[in-house]
A and B are shown apart, each in its own frame.
Chain A
Amino acid sequence: MSGNAEMEILVEDVWKSYDGGRIEVLKGVTLQVEKGGVVALCGSSGCGKSTLLNVISGLEDVDRGLVRVAGRDVVDEATRIELLRHRIGYVFQMHHLMPDLTLAENCMVPVIAAGGKRAEGLARLRELAEITGVAHRLDQRVRELSGGERQRGALCRALMNDPEILLCDEPTGALDESNREKVFDLLLDLVRSRGRTLVLATHDPELAGRCDRTLRMRDGRMVESMG
């Protein structure tokens, strides 16, 4: 594995199934993403993109195979927690913000989880909110925000603990065209300007085309790599 030592994300021959093995979702998937790499995972619904992201973040166990993130094997709860607190930020198609909390309170959840200092968290929140354009909406409850604002808020939350890796599952899938462009531009800008690693699951070939590399999945297998 010495050749893969510098890889930020290493997935090797990973198998994942549900329902006692009757539904196979990942069938021997292998993926390598170098530090600072911007990679798009493409493929139709149900091909295994989301499951692969979940496996990388440790949200789902694998049946067999190796998953190594930031140099650590994702094998136990402690590693998963450490990765999700400090190394990985996750953005979903649906914002998944807590509707009764303000945007600021939502963004502080990862800081609470990591036991971070409130003052430092708030300073970082103000900085990120300025960059993502939601600074004026921080004290609003999520239900009062537009779709674009919610998704930018979700991006803000994912970056709160300054993770090295950003996993995005159709992050613009629920947005209209105008917001989709803005949010994606913002995402790429943030990732590239800070040298972060991005793995993006998307249906959209246009968005995928703006990434450094595009990997195509079909029926639980990695079938094509471009770029």
Chain B
Amino acid sequence: MSLWRMVFTNLHRHRVRTAIGAAGIALGVATMLSVVGLLGGAVKMFERILQSDSEMVVFEKNVSDLFFSNVPVEVAEELEKQPFVKEARPVLFTIITAPERPVVTCFGIEIADPRLGKGEWLGGSAADFIDGKDVVVLGERAADFLNAKAGGTIELGQGTYQVAGVVRLENGFENGGVFMPLGTCQHAFHKEGVSSVITVALAKGHEASEVKDWMAEHHKRLTALENEEFSRSYSQFKIMKTTAWVVGGCAFLLGGLSVTNTMILSVFGRIKELAIARVCGFSRGQVARMIFGESLLVSAIGTALGWALSTAGLYALRAVPQLQGYIEPRIGWMEVAGALSLAVVTALAGALYPAWYAANLKPAEALRFE
């Protein structure tokens, strides 16, 4: 028999109360990990769009969103002439409307851009994807919700486009998007000569700093960042990640209140027992440790349950056909460690008042308590 055995026994004999407390934490953890996992997955997907076969991204300085970034396409040509660059590809991001679909992501890419080649062509041919012509290639999901087939036509924005092909792509954003030849896209959106970003693949043996230095010298309005650097600093990603943690944290707070409630009930339900523990020589600290221990155990059970719940929930969502490709469960160790840390803080904060109350019980009075 140890203090931990007493802690376990105390929780075990009030199983329903313990389960309710753990459920509160579990829901908090599940909400947090789900939101963080979903948004983290979305960020990761967007990162992969930018990182396709490249190590760096060039974009306009100080833009709040890449959709507002304007990078002259000639910069890509200039970059490709540099010895430290293997490949530089401009990509134009836009939003286009379709009948009954007000928002469809549109990617303006060079014909030679390898990203379509990585997908599985379900219909049509890459040979029909010709710059300057009104053609599009649709991701499989986009073709599905736009009710379009390879060889047919489709209305997008102000124009009508030939569907050159339908491609199944792994990335949810790309699979639900429309690909236009860069020139066609620039013309459609009145952005002649510009792209949103230029993705840069470095030549073997060269450093990212060489691109940065060159960019600083020749194009002061633009910036070049390594992919990881970009992910860390891009404000939209930061907003999404912060939102996820704040929403998750609020869910946790509610879970914490449930732990407080459980622990208060637990203390008030065994005032005489706590008094007897004091008579047997328990110090105030030992009583407090026992209550904190119970709270920590409830939170640990809740965290484990919440982790399992969120993982199962995210995988279940991923299996929903309409969401395929958009959900990328991504609960890494950082997220789990974050949830665990919050669970510990919640457990300690939730047990603060009950532990203080229990530790300060006057044994003689408590033994008279009815």
Interface set of A (CB-CB < 8 Å, partner B): 51, 54, 57, 59-60, 77, 81, 84-86, 90, 92, 96-98, 100-101, 104-105, 108-114, 118, 157, 161
Contact = CB atoms under 8 A, between A and B. Distances in A.
B277 A109 contact: yes
Interface stretch (B3-11, B41-49, B251-259): B3-11
A60 B364 contact: yes
Interface of B: 1-3, 5-6, 9, 13, 272-273, 276-284, 286, 362-364, 367
Given A59-B363, A101-B9, A90 B279 contact: yes
A28 B3 CA distance: 40
Contacts of A113: 277, 280-283, 286
Contacts of B273: 98
A161 B277 CA distance: 14
Given A59-B363, A113-B282, A105 B13 contact: no
A196 to B, nearest CB: 17
Contact of B367 (A86, A96, A112): A96
Contacts of A114: 281
Contacts of B276: 96-98, 109
B364 A59 contact: yes
B246 to A, nearest CB: 41
Contact of A57 (B3, B279, B284, B286): B279
A54 B279 CA distance: 10
B281 A84 contact: yes
A77 B284 contact: yes
Given A110-B281, A114-B281, A118-B2, A100 B286 contact: no
A59 B279 contact: yes
Q: Which of A59, A92, A157 has the most CB of B within 10 A?
A: A59
Contact of A112 (B3, B13, B279, B362): B3
A157 B277 CA distance: 11
A105 B10 CA distance: 12
- Where chain A touches its partner, the secondary structure class is helix
B284 A109 contact: no
Contacts of A105: 1, 5-6, 9
Contacts of B280: 84, 109-110, 113, 157
Contacts of A111: 1
Contacts of A98: 273, 276
A196 B367 CA distance: 25
B363 A81 contact: no
17 contacts: A59-B362, A81-B283, A84-B278, A84-B279, A84-B281, A86-B281, A96-B272, A96-B276, A97-B276, A98-B273, A100-B9, A101-B6, A105-B1, A110-B281, A113-B283, A113-B286, A114-B281
Nearest to B284: A77
Nearest to A55: B364
Contacts of B367: 92, 96
B6 A112 contact: yes
Nearest to B14: A100
List the 7 closest A-B pairs by CB distance, nearest first: A85-B281, A113-B281, A108-B1, A100-B13, A110-B280, A59-B364, A84-B281
B2 A112 contact: yes
Nearest to A87: B281
B343 to A, nearest CB: 26
B295 to A, nearest CB: 19
A2 B286 CA distance: 37
A86 B281 CA distance: 8
B294 to A, nearest CB: 14
B370 to A, nearest CB: 12
Contacts of B283: 77, 81, 113
A25 B272 CA distance: 22
Given A96-B276, A109-B282, 17 more contacts: A54-B364, A59-B364, A60-B364, A77-B283, A85-B281, A92-B367, A96-B279, A96-B367, A100-B9, A101-B6, A105-B5, A109-B280, A110-B280, A111-B1, A112-B3, A113-B277, A113-B286
Nearest to B277: A109
A108 B362 CA distance: 22
A129 B363 CA distance: 27
A81 B283 CA distance: 6
Nearest to A116: B281
B240 to A, nearest CB: 48
B34 to A, nearest CB: 36
